[in-house]
């Protein structure tokens, strides 16, 4: 008898998915032997809109709408690129406030991923606990920026709001609360037998595959690839606030969870250091002129490297805005991980990638 | 950011000589409409562990020409090759249409030059 291969779709709408993406798994019995993907269900033409509908100084607020989770990173990557073309200098206070928001974004984004990974392993109570705790981070983001998601906080030249002593106290209180909770999650994710059964040795990306498929973010670091844009660029002074790269081993779901948990703890420390060393000064620098030339900026979003390439011709509208998002770049690596895995593990593996289709389809 | 000009005829051999997958991260393929009917195609790389060491290979491409695929050398390039096909209406070897756009969508939305 020959091999019998059957096609099983996952998505575009599926109980394990937060957003629409479609995978078609070719399976031999329970084992996935080949994968194809369709990622463009929520394409909104944002790159086109940025060069035809909005002037360059309005674009930070447009790109903040690409993603509800990493809106700050999108607007910051764009503004950093625009500021380099305008040859403007942002104050140190504005840079510190930008880093504060980027790291708060990372904390709640990683918490969302961990909660869904637990949910996909059947641990509903853990999902509820983490999502409940995550609300406190959203609350302080609202206090700082005025919004829970899609913050219009970063603008060309700096940031739009300063923090007060009262807000600083609230942030410190929330960070202490989240640190305590994260230590609890860490114990659960490392010692819970059910979670170990579902996560250890499942959905493995080897170090060589991580290099070969250009894996980025926690997916790469969990496989042992020491890459993080926070240590490979100098737009933001991460070296002053206690940034540490966490590299895992094993490249499985378990390792990705542990990397994210340690990154939450490091982000909490960095936020505390930002508040402790927040420089005095203005939060906005006036920048004149129209962008001329081309600039490329990379930032570490919660899911990995985010890249903006912009080109201006001295006009109000740019001639090109290119956005490369972390999930988009990771799709080939995702496909490689699925190959050889059990079909039953596919939802948990997918959740551990922390995919963002709003970013991907843009 | 360092830019290196190449051509469609030599890009595969240029990238084969340049690209060591444990040294360079392939960021993406990019397109920029430079005049009516011509697009600058860019293959963008950054060096692992180095501060802002970005290299861009670029080639001007007439919209009637076929861009060679680099997927044999860089497997992760497949997704951005498909994106370029949709967004600029350019033919890229072994890269099918339909990543983002449906059959009845506006074709090649980024191909129009605004300069």
Q: Is A149 left (phi over 0), alpha (psi -120 to 50) or beta?
A: beta
Domain covering B2-92, topology: Beta Polymerase; domain 2 (3.30.460)
CB atoms B27 and A329 under 8 Å = yes
Rounded CA-CA distance B17/B11 in Å is 10
What was the ipTM of the complex prediction?
0.94
CB atoms A319 and B33 under 8 Å = yes
Beta strands at B91-92 and B66-67: parallel, antiparallel or unpaired: parallel
Cα A46 to the chain's mean position, in Å?
A: 19
Cβ neighbors of A299 (< 8 A, separation 6 or more) are: A73, A76, A77, A80, A102, A229, A233, A235, A236, A305, A306
CB atoms B98 and A319 under 8 Å = no
Rounded CA-CA distance A110/A264 in Å is 7
User: Does residue A154 have a pLDDT over 70?
Assistant: yes
**Chain A, window 241-300: residues with a beta carbon less than 8 angstroms from a chain B beta carbon:** 294-296, 298
CB atoms A233 and B51 under 8 Å = yes
- Please tell me the number of Cα atoms within 13 Å of A108 on its side-chain side: 25
Q: Does A177 touch chain B (CB under 8 A)?
A: no
| Mean model confidence pLDDT for chain A | 92
Q: What is the pLDDT of residue B115?
A: 42
Q: What DSSP assignment string belongs to A154-186? A: EETTEES-PPPHHHHHHHHHHHHHHHHHHHHHH
CB atoms A319 and B114 under 8 Å = yes
CB atoms B28 and A307 under 8 Å = yes
**Chain A, window 302-341: residues with a beta carbon less than 8 angstroms from a chain B beta carbon:** 305, 307, 309, 311, 313, 317, 319-320, 322, 324, 328-329, 331-333
Q: How confident is the model over B6-51, as pLDDT tens digits? A: 999 999 999 999 999 999 999 999 999 988 889 999 999 999 999 9
Taking the whole predicted model, whether its pTM rises above 0.90 is answered as yes
Q: How many beta carbons lie within 10 A of that of residue A57, not counting itself?
A: 17
Q: For chain B, which residues make up each domain, given as ranges?
A: 2-92
Q: What is the pLDDT of residue B101?
A: 86
DSSP label of B109? T
CB atoms A311 and B98 under 8 Å = no
Q: In this complex, which of A39, A225, A311 lies closest to B32 when CB atoms are compared?
A: A311
Rg (CA), chain B: 14
DSSP label of B74? -
Mean pLDDT on B87-102: 88
Shortest distance between the Cα of A49 and any Cα of chain B, in A, equals 10
Cβ-based contacts of B115 with chain A (< 8 Å): 313, 319
Cβ neighbors of A89 (< 8 A, separation 6 or more) are: A285
**Which two tokens mark A209?**
């595959």
Shortest distance between the Cα of A53 and any Cα of chain B, in A, equals 12
User: A interface mutation test: which of B76, B95, B108 has the most A CBs within 10 A?
Assistant: B76
Kindly list the structural domains of chain A, giving each domain's residue range(s) and its CATH number in brackets, ordered by start: 5-361 (1.10.645.10)
Peptide bond before residue A12 is cis, with ω within 30 degrees of 0 = yes
Rounded CA-CA distance B75/A14 in Å is 28
Q: How confident is the model over A240-288, as pLDDT tens digits? A: 999 999 999 899 999 999 999 999 999 999 999 999 999 999 999 999 8
What is the 3 state secondary structure string of A209-226? Answer: HHHHCCCCHHHHHHCCCC
**Distance in Å from the first CA to the final CA of chain B:** 22
Provide the β-strand partners of residue B40. B32, B60
């Amino acid at each position: 008898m020959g091999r019998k291969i059957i096609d099983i779709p996952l998505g575009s709408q599926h109980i394990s998915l937060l957003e629409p993406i479609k995978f078609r798994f070719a399976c031999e019995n329970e084992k996935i032997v080949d994968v194809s993907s369709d990622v463009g269900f929520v394409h909104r033409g944002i790159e086109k809109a940025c060069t035809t509908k909005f002037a360059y100084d309005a674009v930070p607020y447009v790109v903040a709408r690409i993603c509800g989770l990493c809106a700050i990173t999108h607007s910051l990557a764009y503004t950093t690129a625009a500021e380099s073309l305008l040859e403007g200098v942002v104050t140190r206070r504005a840079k510190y406030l930008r880093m504060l928001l980027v790291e708060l974004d990372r904390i709640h984004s990683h918490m969302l991923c961990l909660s869904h990974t637990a949910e996909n392993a059947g641990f509903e109570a853990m999902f509820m606990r983490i999502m409940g705790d995550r609300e406190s981070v959203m609350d302080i983001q609202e206090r700082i920026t005025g919004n829970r998601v899609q913050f219009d906080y970063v603008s060309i030249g700096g940031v739009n709001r300063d923090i007060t002593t009262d807000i600083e106290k609230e942030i410190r209180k929330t960070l202490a609360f989240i640190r305590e909770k994260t230590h609890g999650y860490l114990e659960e994710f490392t010692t819970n037998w059910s979670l170990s059964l579902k996560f250890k040795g499942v959905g493995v990306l080897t170090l060589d595959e991580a290099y070969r498929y250009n894996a980025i973010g926690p997916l790469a670091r969990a496989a042992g690839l020491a890459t993080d844009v926070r240590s490979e660029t100098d737009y933001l002074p991460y070296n002053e606030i206690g940034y540490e790269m966490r590299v895992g081993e094993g490249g499985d779901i378990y390792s990705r969870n542990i990397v994210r948990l340690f990154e939450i703890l490091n982000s909490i420390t960095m936020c505390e250091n930002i508040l402790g060393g927040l420089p005095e000064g203005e939060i906005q620098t006036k920048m004149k002129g129209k962008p001329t030339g081309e600039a490329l900026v990379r930032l570490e979003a919660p899911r990995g490297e985010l890249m903006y390439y912009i080109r201006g011709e001295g006009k109000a509208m740019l001639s090109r805005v290119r956005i490369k998002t972390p999930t988009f770049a990771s799709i080939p690596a995702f496909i490689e991980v699925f190959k050889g895995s059990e079909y039953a593990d596919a939802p948990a593996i997918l959740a551990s990638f922390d995919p963002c289709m709003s970013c991907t389809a843009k | 950011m360092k830019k290196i000009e190449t051509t469609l005829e030599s890009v595969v051999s240029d990238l084969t000589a340049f690209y060591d997958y444990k040294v360079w991260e392939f960021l993406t393929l990019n397109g920029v409409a430079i005049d009516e009917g011509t697009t600058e195609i860019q293959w963008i790389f950054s060096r692992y562990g180095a501060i802002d060491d970005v290299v861009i290979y670029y080639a001007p491409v007439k919209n009637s020409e076929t861009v060679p695929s680099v997927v044999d050398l860089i497997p992760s390039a497949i997704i951005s090759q498909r994106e370029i096909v949709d967004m600029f209406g350019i033919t890229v070897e072994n890269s099918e249409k339909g990543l983002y756009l449906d059959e009845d969508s506006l074709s090649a939305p980024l191909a129009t030059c605004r300069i």
